[in-house]
Amino acid sequence: MGVVIVTCMDARIESGRIFGLQEGEVHVIRKASGTVTEDVLRSLAISQVVLGTREIVVMKHRDCGLEGVGEEELRGTIAAATGADPGFAVGTFRDADAAVREACQALLESQLISYKESIRGFIYDVSDGTVREVSP
């Protein structure tokens, strides 16, 4: 197993299948909008150092519930629904390509990522099943 995919929690995304990988051939880290958070970095560090992965794929998708929503707007919605301010960034984004580039850059800059030679970003289109690589 050499690949770890960071992607959204959206149930329409079958990450391994999208890249032609079988169950057991890939680690998948799912977060709302596929945002690189401190917890994602923790999981990636463990995946690389303990479990031997060397390639990181960041994949956002079209028709994401957090695309085009304002960060403060969503934090306000969560606070109104729960009675508590989330106290963290919820990971909204306006431009999927830019968000993928930012996530890849965050990985490249993190001291917790040991193997940086293969960090790639992609956009998955849930409507037609296509995936395209985002240029750095």
Tokens representing 70 are: 């304002």
Q: How far is CA 25 from CA 15, 42, 60, 61, in A?
A: 11, 20, 20, 21
| Lowest mean pLDDT, pick from 72-76, 87-91, 105-109 | 87-91
Instruction: Indicate whether 136 pLDDT > 80.
Output: no
Check: CB of residue 99 under 8 Å from CB of residue 83: no
Domains, in order of start, for the chain: 3-66+93-134 (3.40.1050.10)
Residue-level pLDDT at 121 = 97
pLDDT given for residue 98 in this prediction: 96
